[in-house]
Structure 1
């Protein structure tokens, strides 16, 4: 194995992270989490090892260092939907090979998401000779996602059950998920803890005068502070149909800007048929925005953010919105309410509820808007800053026997 000259890994607690596509982060929540966790590592007694998919990695070497972590590339063939499962299994096996080669005692293998339940007991046995521990992040209710067929959803639920059964610790990024794990799997007496996902309170490093800002607003005929914003994956469980229908029912003169990976698929066609959104000039699907600074600027200059996510744990888009958008209208489910608390406004899927809330938001005074803005910003600072979250992880990794 190739290490950076001068690196010393003796007597460190070795953490192997499996399940993210890799770092540097380019793809999603888990990747951003691992990027932050490694970048902010302040404890010299911890060393991270991160599995990366070679086909998605900028560095194609077998091993490379990033953020002080040792990253190891994993080759995984394209076997269709099962590719993510195979990736986790191969990553686990490569981690075991490194543990064996380096004679590591008491390593922690931290698996993100519950994809490999049917294989986890076999894999965990390989850790036993090294006094290793298996930590798992159960993520959200993947088995409820509408994008999966019924057999796949059954696999997810069964896989989750086995991951819970054989874990040494489940780190839940949502209190609602932790409650669910302890309630539904009490027969296994699972050991759980709650450590949320994180977010930063950093203003966009661009301004109205930047060309890319002017171009985006002009291209989509959008004006600052004159639009409601939705950001999220284009999937049914994020309640696009309800949000669009309710917005169209409302009397607001502002636009609805939807940033998503929209595809002209059956879900899109059904949405168009059910809502006729193309007939409302306020509804604007603007595609994706991968420029992080531009997206941050768009959030900061929205009038309000609408969040309809119903499945999953603490959602990164919600944290970013609370930290940057003045008014936040959230679907009233446990995942969202535990994050927003009294710093947001809430709506149900009952007909007319969101439409009414949009009109109420339009009528808020400048002082009321400022109070909501300050409360949501403070909520992120108090409970979700990356420095706090990483500190909680470091304590958990170092204090476990």
Structure 2
């Protein structure tokens, strides 16, 4: 409710301002009806398919489904951050969405000292950086890594709350001593060092032990 209240206040404020409106996420896209009714141009980044996430109950999924539909039907421009999201939006009736994919700055190098606190050596570990959500296949990655017995470490960045989240608890239970959970790290020097010096980055779409071994 706090997010909805904040978004409503932001919407009412922006109605008094000149310019084009940029909305990041469709979770309260119902509020864009106020913007469109005022004759404003609204660009919305549709983000992910929130109503499919396992963590939400039926009421929340229905809310997200409705807001995704409203966002697709009534905004001026819909932005997809991946071609697959654009494909999903097209299936829901919104053709011609603009695809602006995520990118990353080129990191030519980083000091190895930042790795010391994590007790890993350059090219002696795999790394993954993602939210601890079932859709990001964290549990599958951990199980695959443990079964593969690579002799390396696996550093997984992301907020882990096993006491409050049963999925997080399952991830922690599946891990062995070679899986390291440093939490969510916002120090860019550490994040860059982890990316530069890892043996490989494990993508969140991993589904099998064979992919880890390759």
TM-score above 0.5, yes or no: yes
Query: Of the candidates 118, 124, 137, which is equivalent to residue 36 of structure 2?
Result: 124
- Which residue number in structure 2 is paired with residue 372 of structure 1? none
- Which residue number in structure 2 is paired with residue 207 of structure 1? 111
Q: Map 1:1-400 to 2 at 5 A.
A: 82-99=1-18, 107-126=19-38, 128=39, 132-185=40-93, 190-204=95-109, 206-208=110-112, 210=113, 213=114, 216-217=115-116, 219-264=117-162, 265=164, 266-273=166-173, 275=174, 277=175, 280-308=176-204, 331=205, 347=206, 349=207, 353=208, 355-360=209-214
- 1-structure distance, mates of 2:211, 2:101: 28
CA contact (8 A) 1:247 1:358 kept: yes
Deviation at 1:122, TM superposition (A): 2.9
- 2-structure distance, mates of 1:136, 1:288: 27
SS state at 1:229 partner: strand
Deviation at 1:191, TM superposition (A): 4.4
Question: What TM-score does the superposition give when structure 2 sets the normalisation length?
Answer: 0.89
SS state at 1:171 partner: strand
Cα gap change, 1:192 to 1:203, in 2 (>3 Å): same
Runs of 4+ displaced beyond 4 Å: none
- 2-structure distance, mates of 1:220, 1:168: 47
Deviation at 1:235, TM superposition (A): 1.9
Deviation at 1:166, TM superposition (A): 0.6
SS state at 1:119 partner: helix
CA contact (8 A) 1:171 1:193 kept: yes
Segments of structure 1 that go 5 or more residues without pairing to the other structure are: 1-81, 100-106, 309-330, 332-346, 361-401
- 1-structure distance, mates of 2:153, 2:87: 38
CA RMSD, Structure 1 to Structure 2 (Å): 1.9
1:373-399 per-position Cα deviation (integer Å, ceiling 9, x unaligned): xxxxxxxxxxxxxxxxxxxxxxxxxxx
Higher relative contact order (CA 8 A, sep 6+): 2
Specify the structure having the higher radius of gyration (Cα): 1
Query: How many aligned positions are there?
Result: 212
SS state at 1:257 partner: strand
Segments of structure 2 that go 5 or more residues without pairing to the other structure are: none
Cα gap change, 1:290 to 1:119, in 2 (>3 Å): closer
CA contact (8 A) 1:168 1:191 kept: no
Cα gap change, 1:192 to 1:358, in 2 (>3 Å): closer
Deviation at 1:287, TM superposition (A): 1.9
CA contact (8 A) 2:11 2:31 kept: no
CA contact (8 A) 1:145 1:237 kept: yes
CA contact (8 A) 1:138 1:160 kept: yes
